[in-house]
């Protein structure tokens, strides 16, 4: 290493400090000082949702590409706990923290599946067709099995041959409406994933 005098040392360090200070004030002429890394979520779209895995129903924020740019392919790129959600206050357990893999899993079902009688495989069908089929089968079963009066002649209005399992990732309002619809049909077997 070359010998330097005290004067040379002070000159060099003084110049370095001066350069750093100017750069901090915004006068840096070069890109040598690291640029501020672009925040990867800066242009993402935020959507609030609920973790679908368990009865805790933690709130999540999903960040998607899809800010309107023509060349941006819509995709969820990040999921984290919702800090404003009263249940989890931004936290997620390991299952919830892995939701991004669930969203992009190639085996994830994204539309209803139908298996015809005597068939050995499932086939995708449209949502409208699936809902029509569910409604039709429910009516058939209710018409055939509805019990208006019990053996003593008392009005009971029961429908015991169909049950309902509701998801826990619903708001109180949706849960209330679901309960009303199911009970008004006469269904007694009604449970919720929140008990799982």
Alpha-carbon span 142 to 59, nearest angstrom: 36
Give residues with Cβ within 8 angstroms of 187, minimum separation 6.
159, 162, 163, 164
Residues 136-195 that bind ligand SF4 (CB under 6 A): none
Nearer Cβ to ligand SF4 (53/63) = 53
76 is an interface residue for ligand SF4 by CB under 6 A: no
Footprint of ligand SF4 on 79-118 (CB under 6 A): 88, 92-93, 95-96
Structure tokens at 63: 């960040």
- Using CB under 6 A as the binding rule, whether residue 51 contacts ligand SF4 is answered as yes
Asked if residues 141 and 187 have their Cβ atoms less than 8 Å apart, the reply is no
Min dist CB 93 to ligand SF4, Å, is 3
Q: Is 53 in the site for ligand SF4 (CB under 6 A)?
A: yes
Size of the site for ligand SF4 (CB under 6 A): 11
Q: Does 57 bind ligand SF4 (CB under 6 A)?
A: yes
Structure tokens at 147: 């019990």
Q: Of 196, 183, 163, which Cα lies nearest the Cα of 57?
A: 196
Whose Cβ is closer to ligand SF4: residue 51's or residue 62's? 51
Task: Name the residue nearer to ligand SF4 (CB basis): 79 or 182.
Answer: 79
According to CB under 6 A, which one of 23, 56, 156, 166 is a site residue for ligand SF4?
Answer: 56
Q: What is the DSSP letter of 168?
A: S
Distance CA 72, CA 2 (A): 55
* CB-CB contact of 147 with 153 (8 Å): no
Residue 61 interacts with ligand SF4 (CB under 6 A): yes or no: no
Residues of the shown chain interacting with ligand SF4 in the complex, contacts defined by CB under 6 A: 51, 53-54, 56-58, 88, 92-93, 95-96
């Amino acid at each position: 290493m070359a010998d330097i005098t005290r004067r040379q040392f002070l000159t060099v360090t003084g110049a370095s400090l001066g350069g750093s200070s100017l750069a901090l004030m915004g006068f840096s002429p070069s890109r040598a000082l690291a640029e501020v890394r672009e925040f990867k979520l800066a242009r993402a779209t935020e959507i609030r949702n609920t973790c679908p895995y368990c009865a805790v129903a933690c709130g999540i924020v999903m960040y998607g590409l899809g800010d309107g740019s023509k060349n941006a392919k819509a995709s969820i790129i990040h999921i984290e706990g919702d800090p404003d959600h009263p249940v989890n206050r931004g936290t997620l357990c390991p299952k919830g923290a892995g939701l991004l893999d669930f969203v992009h899993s190639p085996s994830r079902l994204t539309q209803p599946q139908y298996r015809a009688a005597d068939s050995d495989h499932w086939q995708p069908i449209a949502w409208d067709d699936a809902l029509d089929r569910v409604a039709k089968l429910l009516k058939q079963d209710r018409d055939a099995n509805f019990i208006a009066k019990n053996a003593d002649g008392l009005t009971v209005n029961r429908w015991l041959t169909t049950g309902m399992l509701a998801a826990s990732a619903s708001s109180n309002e949706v849960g209330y409406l679901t309960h009303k619809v199911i009970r008004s049909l006469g269904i007694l077997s009604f449970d919720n994933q929140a008990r799982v």
